[in-house]
Amino acid sequence: MLWFRQIAQKLGKMGVTISLGWYNQQTVHQLASTVAELLPALEQLQQMSVKGRKLVDGFGSQRVMEVITGHSRELNVAQSAVEF
């Protein structure tokens, strides 16, 4: 899970997210406190939203389908070769 931590830290440094740490190390009180701090911070939330939208291009699902389709084609070719 090191990669997950690295991604979370990078997104935090970029100002896209706020990492609360591992889910199993948080209490309901800590989560509620963080949410309470963010609610009045409209400018910060708007800046995070803008940065997040800039990070996401909207073509992620298309790239995923290309990977799935590519693997499917490879599997179909391999299955055809085995059948002969």
Residue pair 44/34 in contact by the 8 Å Cβ criterion: no
- Give CA–CA dist 55/15, Å, rounded: 11
Which of these ranges, 2-11, 23-32, 34-43, 64-73, has the smallest mean pLDDT? 64-73
CB atoms within 10 A of CB 55: 10
Residue range 58-74: average pLDDT? Answer: 68
Question: Each residue of 18-50: pLDDT tens digit?
Answer: 988 888 999 999 999 999 999 999 999 999 999
CA triple 50-56-59, angle to 5 deg:
145
Alpha helices, H only, the chain: 2-13, 28-38, 42-55, 60-83
- Under the banding of pLDDT at 50, 70 and 90, the label for residue 3 is confident
